[in-house]
C-alpha cells in the first residue's frame, strides 16, 4: 500500500491556505467520493456535470482524512483542508508525488489517432513481449499488467489513475507501457508531465467535434503530442493519411513514415486478404520480411505497420517483431468473427465513426461472396454531424442496412436513427435504389441483430458495428448489460435450431 504524510504532499504544491494537521498519514488519493476509504485525501474537482465540492461531506463521512478543494465547505470532521486555486490542474503533480513518479522509470509509448489505436497497441505489446520486454497496456478495452486485466473507464485514464496503474506495473516488473492517447486526454491534461519514449500516428478524421470546437482544433491537439516528444523519441507517422505530412513537418527528432505509398519508409507490398487474416511483405530500412497476420483487413495492415515501425526504431530486430505481429490472435470487438454461422459470416466491430465504418464495410465487401448486411447506430450526446454521413456510407456499401440504437444516452433513440436514415435515404435515392427495400429501422438493438441474422443468405456477410467489445448499453435513465457478440451468438443458435426443426419436419415459424 502506498502512503505518505500530508506534509510531504503539501511541500510540493502551490497551497493557498492550509488548516489542520500536516502529520496525518495519507493512504490513498481519490477524486470520486464513492472510492474514499479511511485515510484518503479527497480532491474536489469541478466538472461539466457535477461539482466535487458537493460531495465533500460524503467523502468525509467515508473516512477522508483531508480534503483538497477550491473553497471550504462541508469539511467538518476532516483532519486537514488544503485550499488551492485549481484542483484539476494539480492532478498530474499529485499523482506523480503520491506514487513516487513511477512513469519516470517506465518507457511510455503512445498511439495517437482517430481509428486504429486499440489494435495498434495490441500489436505493439505483442511485439515487445516477443522481444522479452515486459509490457503493460493502457487502452479502451482494458488495462493489462502482466497477466492481469483491469476494466477501462476511459481510453486514457485521468492522471491519478494513470500513476496508480504505472505504480502497479512497476511492481509487476513492467519496463514498457503501450498507451492509447486520446484527444480528450491531451486536451484535458491527463498526460501532462509524462515523457513519452515514442509514438505512432494512425490517422485522423472528423470525430469528437461535440468536444473540440473544430476539426482544426482536433488536429492541433493530436499534433501537439508529436511536437512535445523528446528529440531522441521516434515518431512513426502514417504518411498515407492526408494529414500525416502536416504532423511529420511539425515533428522534430527521429521520424519514420509508414504506409503503402513508395514514399513510406516502412511499407507493405504484395498484400493478400482473406476472412481469416492478411499477409504482406514488410519493406523496411531494417530489411524485408513476409508477415502473415491473423487479423483481416487493410486497416489492420496499417495498424501492424505502425507498430512494426516503432518497434524497429526501438531496437527490436525484424524477425522478432514479425513473430510478435503474427502471434496476435485477435483483438476483442475488432473485426471479430462470431462462430456459429455455417454458410455466411457474422463480424462484430467497434467502428463508430464515418471513416471507421467505411473501412470496415469496404473490407467486408472485398471478402463477401454475396450480399453485405450491416447493423449500426450512433451514440447520443455526441457529434451529430456524423450520423447522416454514416447513413450515406451504409447506402453506398451495404445491400441491406438495419439502423438501430447504439448508446443513446440522454437523446431519443428514434431521433438519432432518423438523422442516420435521412443521410441513407438521400444517398440511396441518388444511387437509383429503393430505400424501403434496402433499409429498416429497428430501435431495439437485440431485435435488430436477430433480424439481420435471420435475413442472411448463403455467402452473405453481416457486420454489426459500433459497440465492439462493449458489454453495456447506455440509456437516459439506465445502463443495461448488452454485448453484440453474445446477442449475435444467441441469434445464430436460434437460427440453427429453427433450421434443424425444418429439416426434421417440425413446424417452422418466425
Domain locations in the chain as residue ranges: 4-98, 102-327, 336-502
What pLDDT does 156 receive? 81
Q: Is 322's pLDDT higher than 70?
A: yes
**pLDDT category of residue 342 using cuts at 50, 70 and 90:** confident
What pLDDT does 211 receive? 62
What pLDDT does 510 receive? 45
- Concatenate the DSSP letters of all residues of 421-458 into one string: HHHHHHHHHHTT--HHHHEEE--SHHHHHHHHHHH--T
Secondary structure of 83-124 as H, E, C letters: ECCCCHHHHHHHHHHHCCCHHHHCEEEEEECCCCHHHHHHHH
- Tell me what the pLDDT averaged over the chain comes to: 94
What's the fold here for domain 336-502? 3.90.190
Work out whether the CA dihedral 40, 41, 43, 44 comes out positive or negative: positive
What's the fold here for domain 4-98? 3.40.1390
C-alpha cell recorded at residue 136: 503493460
Q: What is the mean pLDDT of residues 390-414?
A: 98
Q: Is 51's pLDDT higher than 50?
A: yes
Domains 4-98 and 102-327 share a fold: no
What pLDDT does 187 receive? 85
User: Which are the contacts of 508, defined by CB distance < 8 A and separation ≥ 6?
Assistant: 498, 501, 502
Q: Which helix (H) or strand (E) holds 331?
A: none
What pLDDT does 508 receive? 45
Q: Is 507's pLDDT higher than 60?
A: no
Q: What is each CA distance from 430 to 10, 359, 397, 426, 439, in whole angstroms?
A: 65, 22, 14, 6, 15
Q: What is the mean pLDDT of residues 476-495?
A: 97
**pLDDT category of residue 419 using cuts at 50, 70 and 90:** very high
Which residue has better confidence, 145 or 489? 489
pLDDT digits (tens, 9 = 90+) for 167-195: 999 999 999 999 999 988 888 888 999 99
Q: Does domain 102-327 have CATH number 3.40.1190.10?
A: yes
What pLDDT does 210 receive? 60
Distance of alpha carbon 160 from alpha carbon 166, whole angstroms: 10
What pLDDT does 356 receive? 92
What pLDDT does 205 receive? 83
What pLDDT does 148 receive? 84
Window from 71-85, 206-220, 281-295 with minimum mean pLDDT: 206-220
**pLDDT category of residue 1 using cuts at 50, 70 and 90:** confident
Q: Is 267's pLDDT higher than 90?
A: yes
What pLDDT does 501 receive? 85
Q: CB–CB of 195/179 below 8 Å?
A: no
Amino acid at each position: 500500500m502506498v502512503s505518505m504524510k500530508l506534509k510531504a504532499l503539501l511541500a510540493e504544491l502551490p497551497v493557498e491556505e492550509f488548516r489542520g494537521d500536516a502529520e496525518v498519514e495519507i493512504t490513498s488519493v481519490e477524486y470520486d467520493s464513492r472510492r474514499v476509504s479511511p485515510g484518503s485525501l479527497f480532491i474536489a474537482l469541478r466538472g461539466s456535470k457535477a461539482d466535487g465540492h458537493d460531495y465533500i461531506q460524503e467523502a468525509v463521512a467515508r473516512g477522508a482524512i483531508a480534503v483538497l478543494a477550491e473553497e471550504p465547505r462541508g469539511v467538518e470532521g476532516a483532519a486537514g483542508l488544503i485550499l488551492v486555486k485549481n484542483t484539476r490542474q494539480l492532478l498530474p503533480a499529485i499523482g506523480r508525488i503520491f506514487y513516487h513518479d513511477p512513469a519516470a522509470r517506465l518507457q511510455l509509448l503512445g498511439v495517437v489517432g482517430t481509428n486504429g489505436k486499440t489494435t495498434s497497441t495490441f500489436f505493439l505489446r505483442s511485439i515487445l513481449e516477443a522481444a522479452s520486454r515486459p509490457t503493460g497496456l493502457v487502452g479502451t478495452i482494458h488495462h493489462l499488467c502482466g497477466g492481469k486485466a483491469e476494466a477501462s473507464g476511459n481510453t486514457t485514464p485521468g492522471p491519478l489513475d494513470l500513476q496508480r496503474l504505472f505504480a502497479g506495473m512497476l511492481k509487476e516488473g513492467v519496463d514498457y507501457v503501450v498507451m492509447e492517447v486520446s484527444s480528450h486526454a491531451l486536451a484535458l491534461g491527463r498526460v501532462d508531465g509524462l515523457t513519452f519514449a515514442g509514438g505512432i500516428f494512425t490517422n485522423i478524421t472528423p470525430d469528437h467535434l461535440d468536444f473540440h470546437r473544430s476539426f482544426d482544433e482536433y488536429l492541433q491537439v493530436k499534433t501537439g503530442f508529436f511536437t512535445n516528444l523528446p528529440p531522441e523519441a521516434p515518431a512513426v507517422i502514417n504518411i498515407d493519411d492526408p494529414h500525416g505530412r502536416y504532423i511529420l513537418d511539425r515533428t522534430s527528432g527521429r521520424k519514420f513514415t509508414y504506409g503503402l505509398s513508395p514514399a513510406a519508409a516502412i511499407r507493405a507490398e504484395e498484400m493478400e486478404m482473406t476472412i481469416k487474416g492478411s499477409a504482406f511483405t514488410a519493406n523496411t530500412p531494417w530489411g524485408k520480411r513476409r508477415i502473415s497476420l491473423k487479423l483481416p483487413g487493410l486497416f489492420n495492415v496499417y495498424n501492424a505497420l505502425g507498430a512494426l515501425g516503432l518497434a524497429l526504431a526501438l531496437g527490436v530486430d525484424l524477425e522478432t517483431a514479425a513473430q510478435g505481429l503474427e502471434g496476435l490472435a485477435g483483438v476483442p470487438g475488432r473485426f471479430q468473427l462470431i462462430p456459429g454461422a455455417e454458410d455466411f459470416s457474422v463480424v462484430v466491430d467497434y467502428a463508430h465513426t464515418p471513416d471507421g465504418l467505411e473501412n470496415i464495410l469496404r473490407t467486408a465487401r472485398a471478402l463477401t461472396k454475396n450480399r453485405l448486411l450491416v447493423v449500426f447506430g450512433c451514440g447520443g450526446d455526441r457529434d451529430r454531424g456524423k450520423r447522416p454521413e454514416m447513413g450515406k456510407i451504409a447506402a453506398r456499401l451495404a445491400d441491406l442496412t438495419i439502423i438501430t440504437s447504439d448508446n443513446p444516452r440522454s437523446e431519443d433513440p428514434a431521433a438519432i436513427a432518423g438523422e442516420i436514415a435521412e443521410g441513407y435515404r438521400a444517398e440511396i435515392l441518388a444511387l437509383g435504389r429503393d430505400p424501403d427495400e434496402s433499409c429498416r429501422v429497428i430501435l431495439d438493438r437485440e431485435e435488430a441483430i436477430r433480424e439481420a441474422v435471420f435475413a442472411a443468405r448463403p455467402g452473405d456477410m453481416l457486420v454489426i458495428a459500433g459497440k465492439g467489445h462493449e458489454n453495456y448499453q447506455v440509456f437516459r435513465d439506465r445502463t443495461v448489460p448488452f454485448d453484440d457478440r453474445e446477442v449475435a451468438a444467441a441469434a445464430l443458435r436460434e437460427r440453427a435450431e429453427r433450421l434443424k426443426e425444418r429439416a426434421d419436419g417440425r413446424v417452422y415459424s418466425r
